[in-house]
Each structure stands twice: as structure tokens, then as C-alpha cells.
Amino acid sequence: MDLNIDDVELEILKMLQEDGRLSYADIAKKLKIPQSTVRFKVNKLTREGYIKKFIAILDPIKLGYPIIMIMLLRTDPRKFNNIFNRISEIKEIHHMFQITGKYDIIAIFHARDMEHVGELSNRIKSLEGILDSEVLLATGRLLIKNELPI
């Protein structure tokens, strides 16, 4: 792996992927290094963009969003950026990628119920520049992985 980080920083990243709530003291103890070194290295990793932010990963089902809706969108290339930005503003969006193939965008949303799916679908399909769309619903959650293989 050709990263611009040292072995200690790599271990810190692995530990924080596993549990972002680990304190500097906990990390220092496990790695047998001073707490001040951990603080310095975490700040460096954050400043350099290796760590984007610290967040809690919530359970959408427990919070009332049991349906995963996937939209495949073909867009007018002249409207692509505007469409991408407009969809980014929708609070139910979970992931969105520009893709290759027949469609230009894949967008993944969490929805409360089928009525909500219809509302989201219609809202997005009505955006200026959407040429074609396909709506898919996840029928089961097979894998959601938040860790990178570092």
C-alpha cells in the first residue's frame, strides 16, 4: 500500500474504523504510545483528509425508514450538475454516484413507506433534465460495510 502515512497512523485508522468512540487514551494504551502522539496523529490524519469526519451510523429501520429505494437516472448531460446538486439536498438521500453505462446516476434513499417511495420517485423524476429513470427496492439487506480494507 503506497500511503503517505506511517504504521502507527495506519493502526489508528483501523482502530477508529472499528470504533470511532475510542478515546485518545484508549488508543494510546493499546498502541503503547503517548496520548499526545495519538492526538497529534489524529489531527494530522483529519487535516490531510484521511479522516473525513466522525459520525454515528444510525439504524434506518429503528428510526422509521425501513425501505431502501434505489434510483437509476439518465440525465441530459447539460443538466447533470444541477440534477446531482438538487438530489444532494434531499434529506432522504443516503448515497449517490455518477456511474457508467445506460444510466448516469445511481441514488440510494431511505423511505418510510410505499407512499414515501412514490413521493420521492415523483419528485426526482420531475427534475428538469431527467430523461429516463428506473426505481428498484431492496428486498433484503445483505451487506452494509463501513470499513475500508487498510
**Model confidence over 80-117: pLDDT tens digits?**
999 999 999 999 999 999 999 999 999 999 999 999 99
**What dotted CATH number matches 67-137?**
3.30.70.920
Q: How confident is the model at residue 146 (pLDDT cuts 50, 70, 90)?
A: confident
Which CATH class name applies to 7-47?
Answer: mainly alpha
Mean pLDDT of the chain: 93
**Which pLDDT score is estimated for 2?**
57
pTM of the model: 0.79
Return the domain boundaries, the chain: 7-47, 67-137
> Which residues, other chains included, contact 42 with Cβ-Cβ below 8 Å and sequence gap of 6+?
12, 16, 24, 51
Q: Distance from CA of residue 45 to its chain's centroid?
A: 19
